[in-house]
Amino acid sequence: MAKGQKKFRSVGTRPIRHDGIDKVTGRANYGADFALPGMLWGGVLRSPHAHARVLGIDASKALEIEGVKAVITSADLPVIEAGDGPTNFWDLSRNILARDKVLYHGHAVAAVAATTAVIAARALERVEVEYEVLPQVQDVMEAMSPDAPLLHEDMFTKGLDPKPEHPSNVARRMEIARGDLENGFAQANVVVEREFTTRSVHQGYIEPHAVVARTGEDGQVVVWCSSQGHFMVRQYCATVLGLDTSQIKVIPAEIGGGFGGKTTVYLEPLAILLSQRSGRPVKIVMSREEEFRATGPAPGSRIRAKLGARNDGTLTACEAQLYFEAGAFPGSPVMAACMTMLAPYTVENLSLVGYDVCVNKPKTAAYRAPGAPIGSFAIETLIDELAEMLGIDPVDLRLHNAAHEGSQAPYGPKFRRIGYRETLETARAHPQYRTPLERNQGRGVASGFWFNAGMQSSAAVNVNEDGTVQVVSPNPDIGGSRVSLALMAAEELGIDVERVRPVVADTETIGYSDLTGGSRVTFATGMAVVEAARKVIEQLRERAAKIWGIDVSQVEWNEGYALPGQGNGEHDPLSLAEIATSASRTGGTICGNVSLNARGAAPGFATHICDVEVDPETGRVEILRYAAVQDVGKAIHPSYVEGQMQGGVAQGIGWALNEELVYDEDGVLENPGFLDYRIPVASDLPMIDTILVEVANPTHPYGVRGVGEVPIVPPLAAVANAIYAATGVRMRDLPISPPRLVDALDGKHSG
Amino acid sequence: MDPKTHVHTHINGEPVEFLSEAYRSLLEILRDELMLTGTKEGCTTGDCGACSVTLDGRLVCSCLVLAVEAEGRRVGTVEGIARGETLHPVQQKLLEHAALQCGVCTPGIVVAATSLLERNPDPTEREVRYWLAGNLCRCTGYDKIIRAVLDAASELRGASPNVLE
Amino acid sequence: MARVFFPASLRSFTGELAELSIPAGNLRELIATLDSRFPGIGDAIRSGLAVAIDGEIIQDGFLEELGPESEIHFVPPISGGSGRAGSAPAQAAARTSAPAGFPS
Amino acid sequence: MESVRYEAPRELSAAIELLDSVEGARVLAGGTDLLIQLRAALIQPSLLVDLKWIPELTAVSLDEEGLSLGAAVSCAELREHKQIERLFPGLYESAELIGSEQIQGRASVGGNLCNASPAADTVPALLATGARCVVAGPGGTRTLPCERFATGPGETILGRGELLVSIQIPKPAPGTADCYLRLIPRTEMDIAVVGAAVSVTLDASGSCTDARVAQGAVGPTASLVPDAAAALVGGVPDVGRLEAAARAAAGASRPIDDKRGTVRYRRKVTGVLTRRAAEIAIERARQRTR
């Protein structure tokens, strides 16, 4: 039951995070910070070709080097039967170590373990691989042509009727449709149809992937690594290596950023296998170059989209085709792009078709609201164009078409209580929206949507003998979730958050939990914590009842104290600490454990305002001001909610202006480092104003919606729309780098 | 085995000796030999700042310093910033402002920001942003980091908080 | 009676029928009923789609109860950003080739 | 990386001796390029000769003759000399633009010259000041203009056993000021897409009596653009002269297409930055003639 307008003592406050001191002093241990006695160093041999058949691998010369203890190839992995679930382990196994073919430059081919990192590197140079180089394809449209080189000779496009006769790089065609497109466009007074492209971008977390694995004579495996889900690591490793889940224990390290990029495994199975082969612990740390060459980018894309509106601003129809680069294996987020791009609007007639296309690049991984920023870039730009053509304020146009409670999402269901309108109204009233602009300056607006997720979570709340409390989370804390979980436990129990110590437990000490992702931890694991705390309160009431000799139904719990109900005699209230201290005499330790599959996740909407100044001679864009408005449901720790929003905005600005993975004509990445993969630096950005709209999610005890992903959705179009306002030039190809903008400006003037 | 040099240096004020091959970076020795893992590795090319330390008081990337170059010099790492149980104001303000999410860039930010405030006790927002441009943070959008450093500066000066530009 | 809406990808099974009202107590019963009426639709749902019940997307809910007024939509599954890795049923899929999501 | 040794000689002669006698010896100053090349196995030196303990290479002196800057002086240290900022604001700016604070803590102006990257920030600025290089080797010491030091990307005139000792910048004539501008996509941390440096000398009437214009990242080496300089000299710099200088600079550029920029873009921006750098240098010089 929602607590309505109740004043909270903990929820909504901004305490210092419990894990903070370890992080500002350097004591916190991340993936690469572990070492074990006798540990070996692993290294990965990677393909020098974007597409080639592997004819043979000879590791004998590497094994001759003193200090080299093991070399593995895909021949050492069990063969996975073809599978087709949310995670395709056939693909995963072949991504971890190439089998038969390498599918991108940087694809892992072999791994070694040696007594030092330098010896491991030297050993890699001595592993001889014979390749038959094959033609490769990088561009999504080229990959779709009938004569394109095939990555998977036995892949036939799914979702076509009749079933295709020839194999294709198109893994799947997907469609969302409703209404009558022809009729919808016929109703429109204005129609815009445009093409958009975006390039592959990288999650760019600062901590590279790292792992230490140790195996024992009993076959038990212990893995230390940073990931967005150590249960995921356990399950993936067990499946790929053919081990029982109970054979693997994964101990989560602190995670140095993920943004979706640490939702799969690259190194962990290799480290386990090398440890099994060598009988020694093995550590592998990716270099930054390996990160860029071989870990999950977000897809490059091409979109053709057409949007129609009546003179009053009503959107009548939308048709779009979205072509996404999946990378070496199927699984781009193109469907999510189709589902999200129009979610903020009530468009009755639509057809959104997505194509998931394999190209010779690393397999894409999730990146913050996967797919949504790309689809929204197209739609939010078109809406800006329509607003101008119709002479309607862009916020008003959005308000006119805004999705609301009861309106039908493009992907089918009706929305329950959502706060999109509230974000628009708040944005319209924000002072930045009226701040005067000078020459070469412009303002852009865009909105965005993300589903948010529930899924499986576990939690334990353990009361210590002195009345302090342990909150045990199963989710790696990627951005402050521990303190948020502690706040909810403190609120329920009625004690100070400083008395609550949140920890992230390993796979053997807490029940299974899905990933840290989908903006789900504070929502779903939060629900588990709240339920576990309520179980604890039940026990606290029972113990108080025993102490007082009254019926438990007569004991209330209020602000950290057990109180006897009226007419149950004179008893002083018992504090949580007092009950805890006597717990051994009243029935033993007090604790609550909960596992649940959280229902009731509620979508998030955001509206952003971006002001830019363009240097028309050089094409450089300065972000002058930025305001992000978002319906967050309820901010448990407002500072970390703001931080999520600011971080998402910064990533979106980077995507809009300068980030792109540049591949040469041989499919070799030209910018595998932070020097030329240009994520925003501190001097690139202004302060990012955040406005938290709180339209409570009625199914969460505190109204939480989840906040991490929506903020990366609007910035791409917000920046592009602002640049248009400043220059009169529509930029529909990302990134809007200075050379591209100058070309476009020069084109405008000469045209 | 590659030849090694016996290096005598001071780390966080303490005399330290170690052996290193000529090609190994100070970062590798700090982390892998001396177990000072507070200094983080993000890129090994000087582009991310996670490995920031001071060398004879000057801010540098330890990935771009050879370990043997530490001979006769003074190295300062994040582990040496707090005084016993007392956090440096930069550390305290980063916590109060919730200016870290994943926290892996934080040690580098702490070292860089303290180095700035030693030289410039009253920096503008712009000066803080440019000084920290070599410290990549992918989580925060920098907003809270900049506010925390400005706040720490005013606390160190004993002044009222700086008004942002 | 739950109201069931079919996306374009399922309409080849339903003869282009877009919606239908059928009695069902939970999702498993509903899909069994659909499969007996539209042979093959059950596999298509189990192998490639998630279910939205009354507006909420549910990825693993075969015993999920349906209310008398429930609206059921079949929607594409989201990975990664949903917090979903391959959860336990998907692991089974890799080993036994059983369809994901709804152990039969 | 195999079996590389490290030496840190205390005297210039010892450094020259090591460089001359050991096959595959390389000098180490700031190391910001060298360590990356070493790690990427682009170079495989047998010996690293650390120059930072040699007095001649770490000295900074400013006298009536001008500035003498030891080749191993870090950009961060250079920036602590406020006199340098006053006399050579363009050089100061270029040192401030290289990489991050952390990089500037190590990278040296001399190393920037010796690495001979076409995009090195300090080199166009040095060229604009008329700086000269002091090179020492087994055969003695020689001095040459900075613009002759680099001969191509990564290539210099240094012979076996030779090293760059210092950079000598003549004291600017009264009414002289310089400026360096570069274009990068971000505000910091990038390699220059285009760099432009301008030094001008104005007389009391505001007429330009001397000028030097240099450009970087738009040819195999940083280079002087005499035609652009000539366009500025001979009168009070006006819009016409500035545009002429910009055109000359753009025309003299020989850029390539790469991941950082296109030929078209670089050429255009060369003109833009040359004009803007000239405007700033002129304004600074005007301040000085008052």
The mean predicted confidence, pLDDT, of chain D is 96
Domain count, chain B: 2
In tens, the pLDDT along D28-87 reads: 999 999 999 998 888 999 999 999 999 999 999 999 999 999 999 999 999 999 999 999
In tens, the pLDDT along D169-228 reads: 999 999 999 999 999 999 999 999 999 999 999 999 999 999 999 999 999 999 999 999
Distance from CA of A133 to the nearest CA of C (A): 30
pLDDT(C104) > 60: no
Which residues in chain B are contacts of D44 at CB distance < 8 A?
Answer: none
Q: What is the CATH number of the domain that holds B34?
A: 3.10.20.30
* Residue D81 near residue D62 (C-beta atoms within 8 A): yes
The answer on B94 and B75 residing in a single domain is no
- ipTM for the predicted complex comes to 0.95
Identify the pLDDT of residue D122.
97
For the CA atoms of A276, A279, A280, A285, the dihedral, rounded to the nearest 10 degrees, stands at -20
Identify the pLDDT of residue B159.
60
* Residue A700 near residue A530 (C-beta atoms within 8 A): no
Identify the pLDDT of residue C52.
85
Domain boundary (B80, B97, B127) is at: B80
Residue C12 lies in a domain: yes
Confidence class for position D164, pLDDT limits 50, 70, 90: very high
Residue B124 lies in a domain: yes
- Whether A688 sits inside 8 A of B96 (CB atoms) is no
Q: Where is average pLDDT lowest: A1-15, A50-64, A189-203, A221-235?
A: A1-15
At least 3 CB pairs under 8 A between chains A and B: yes
Average pLDDT over residues A135-155: 96
The larger pLDDT score, comparing residue C77 to residue A462, is at: A462
Identify the pLDDT of residue C79.
59
Q: Give the one of A662, A675, A739 whose C-beta lies nearest to D191's C-beta.
A: A675
Domain span at residue C12 reads: 2-78
Given the DSSP bridges, would you call strands D150-152 and A128-133 parallel, antiparallel or unpaired?
Answer: unpaired
In tens, the pLDDT along A551-588 reads: 999 999 999 999 998 888 889 999 999 999 999 999 99
Domain boundary (B58, B80, B102) is at: B80
Residue A188 lies in a domain: no
The answer on A482 and A550 residing in a single domain is yes
Which residues in chain A are contacts of B77 at CB distance < 8 A?
Answer: 26
- Whether B146 sits inside 8 A of A27 (CB atoms) is no
Percentage of residues in chain A with pLDDT exceeding 90? 93
- Whether D32 sits inside 8 A of B64 (CB atoms) is yes
**Three-state SS for D84?**
helix
Identify the pLDDT of residue C90.
34
- Whether A453 sits inside 8 A of C81 (CB atoms) is yes
Confidence class for position A83, pLDDT limits 50, 70, 90: low
Confidence class for position A120, pLDDT limits 50, 70, 90: very high
The answer on B8 and B74 residing in a single domain is yes
- What's the CA gap between C1 and A530, in Å, rounded? 34
- What's the CA gap between A181 and A347, in Å, rounded? 10
Domains recognised in chain D with CATH numbers: 5-170 (3.30.465.10), 176-289 (3.30.390.50)
* Residue A562 near residue A541 (C-beta atoms within 8 A): yes
Identify the pLDDT of residue D1.
52
Residue A714 lies in a domain: yes
Identify the pLDDT of residue A751.
52
Domain boundary (A550, A573, A598) is at: A598
Domain boundary (B35, B58, B80) is at: B80
Residue B57 lies in a domain: yes
The answer on B126 and B61 residing in a single domain is no
Q: What is the CATH number of the domain that holds A248?
A: 3.90.1170.50
Residue C92 lies in a domain: no
Average pLDDT over residues C45-73: 80
- What's the CA gap between B5 and B12, in Å, rounded? 21
All partners of chain B with 3 or more CB pairs under 8 angstroms: A, D
Residue A200 lies in a domain: no
The answer on B94 and B64 residing in a single domain is no
Average pLDDT over residues A643-655: 98
Identify the pLDDT of residue A517.
86
The answer on B110 and B136 residing in a single domain is yes
Identify the pLDDT of residue A566.
87
Identify the pLDDT of residue A658.
97
Identify the residue among A285, A617, A734 best suited for mutation to test binding to D, counting D beta carbons within 10 A and taking the highest.
Answer: A617
For A157, phi and psi rounded to 5 degrees?
-60, 125
Domain span at residue B137 reads: 89-157
Distance from CA of B98 to the nearest CA of D (A): 24
Q: Give the one of A85, A333, A456 whose C-beta lies nearest to C90's C-beta.
A: A85
Domain boundary (A245, A278, A294) is at: A294
Identify the pLDDT of residue A603.
93
Residue B113 lies in a domain: yes
Classify residue A388 as exposed, middle or buried by CB count within 10 Å of its CB (0-12, 13-18, 19+). middle
Which residues in chain C are contacts of A239 at CB distance < 8 A?
Answer: 86, 91, 94-95
pLDDT(C85) > 60: no
Q: Which residues contact A558 (CB under 8 A, 6 or more apart)?
A: A494
The answer on A581 and A621 residing in a single domain is no
Q: Which residues contact B17 (CB under 8 A, 6 or more apart)?
A: B6, B7, B8, B9
Average pLDDT over residues B9-14: 98
Largest distance between two CA atoms of chain B: 58
Residue C91 lies in a domain: no
Average pLDDT over residues A197-221: 97
Domain count, chain A: 3
Q: What is the CATH number of the domain that holds C33?
A: 3.10.20.30
Distance from CA of A639 to the nearest CA of B (A): 6
Residue A616 lies in a domain: yes
pLDDT(B163) > 50: no
Which residues in chain A are contacts of C90 at CB distance < 8 A?
Answer: 83, 85-87
Identify the pLDDT of residue B161.
52
* Residue A78 near residue A96 (C-beta atoms within 8 A): no
The answer on A472 and A557 residing in a single domain is yes
pLDDT(C92) > 50: no
Residue B148 lies in a domain: yes
Identify the residue among A669, A742, A750 best suited for mutation to test binding to D, counting D beta carbons within 10 A and taking the highest.
Answer: A742
- Whether D6 sits inside 8 A of B5 (CB atoms) is yes
Confidence class for position A129, pLDDT limits 50, 70, 90: very high
Confidence class for position C81, pLDDT limits 50, 70, 90: low
Identify the pLDDT of residue C84.
53
Identify the residue among B21, B104, B131, B140 best suited for mutation to test binding to A, counting A beta carbons within 10 A and taking the highest.
Answer: B104
Which residues in chain A are contacts of D35 at CB distance < 8 A?
Answer: none
Domain span at residue A313 reads: 297-452+602-750
Residue B95 lies in a domain: yes
Average pLDDT over residues A259-279: 97
All partners of chain D with 3 or more CB pairs under 8 angstroms: A, B
In tens, the pLDDT along A21-77 reads: 999 999 999 999 999 999 999 999 999 999 999 999 999 999 999 999 999 999 999
* Residue A104 near residue A667 (C-beta atoms within 8 A): yes
pLDDT(D113) > 50: yes
Identify the pLDDT of residue A584.
94
The answer on B102 and B34 residing in a single domain is no
Residue A176 lies in a domain: no
Percentage of residues in chain A with pLDDT exceeding 70? 98
Average pLDDT over residues A333-351: 96
- What's the CA gap between D194 and D99, in Å, rounded? 15
Confidence class for position A507, pLDDT limits 50, 70, 90: very high
Which residues in chain B are contacts of A256 at CB distance < 8 A?
Answer: 40, 42, 102-105
Which residues in chain C are contacts of A516 at CB distance < 8 A?
Answer: 83
* Residue A173 near residue A355 (C-beta atoms within 8 A): yes
- Whether D76 sits inside 8 A of B25 (CB atoms) is no
All partners of chain A with 3 or more CB pairs under 8 angstroms: B, C, D
- What's the CA gap between A151 and A51, in Å, rounded? 8
Q: Where is average pLDDT lowest: A197-206, B150-159, C20-29, D47-56?
A: C20-29
The mean predicted confidence, pLDDT, of chain A is 96
In tens, the pLDDT along A688-697 reads: 999 999 999 9
Identify the residue among C82, C91, C97, C104 best suited for mutation to test binding to A, counting A beta carbons within 10 A and taking the highest.
Answer: C82
The answer on B106 and B42 residing in a single domain is no
Identify the residue among A30, A65, A206, A227 best suited for mutation to test binding to B, counting B beta carbons within 10 A and taking the highest.
Answer: A206
Residue B143 lies in a domain: yes
Query: Which residue, among A256, A254, A260, A266, has the nearest Cα to A293 in the 3D structure?
Result: A266
In tens, the pLDDT along A584-639 reads: 999 999 999 999 999 888 999 999 999 999 999 999 999 999 999 999 999 999 99
* Residue C85 near residue A456 (C-beta atoms within 8 A): no
Q: Give the one of B101, B129, B143 whose C-beta lies nearest to A479's C-beta.
A: B101
The answer on B10 and B67 residing in a single domain is yes
Which residues in chain D are contacts of B64 at CB distance < 8 A?
Answer: 30-32, 35-36, 102-103, 106
- What's the CA gap between B46 and A524, in Å, rounded? 39
pLDDT(C89) > 80: no
Identify the pLDDT of residue B156.
96
Which residues in chain B are contacts of D26 at CB distance < 8 A?
Answer: none
**Three-state SS for A452?**
coil
Which chain B residue lies closest to A480 (C-alpha atoms)?
Answer: B101
- Whether B102 sits inside 8 A of A687 (CB atoms) is no
pLDDT(A489) > 70: yes
Average pLDDT over residues A163-174: 94
Residue A143 lies in a domain: no
At least 3 CB pairs under 8 A between chains C and B: no
- Whether D102 sits inside 8 A of B22 (CB atoms) is no
The answer on A610 and A591 residing in a single domain is no
DSSP structure string for A701-727: TT-----SSGGGSSHHHHHHHHHHHHH
Q: What is the CATH number of the domain that holds A542?
A: 3.30.365.10
Percentage of residues in chain D with pLDDT exceeding 70? 99
Residue A466 lies in a domain: yes
User: Quick one: tokens of A650?
Assistant: 């910064």
The answer on B52 and B98 residing in a single domain is no
β-pair partners for D142: D135
Identify the pLDDT of residue C99.
28
User: Quick one: tokens of B153?
Assistant: 């500066």
The answer on A97 and A107 residing in a single domain is yes
Residue A196 lies in a domain: no
pLDDT(A396) > 60: yes
Residue type, C100: A
pLDDT(B128) > 70: yes
Q: Give the one of D38, D99, D100 whose C-beta lies nearest to B23's C-beta.
A: D38
The answer on A400 and A461 residing in a single domain is no
Domain count, chain C: 1
- Whether A643 sits inside 8 A of B110 (CB atoms) is no
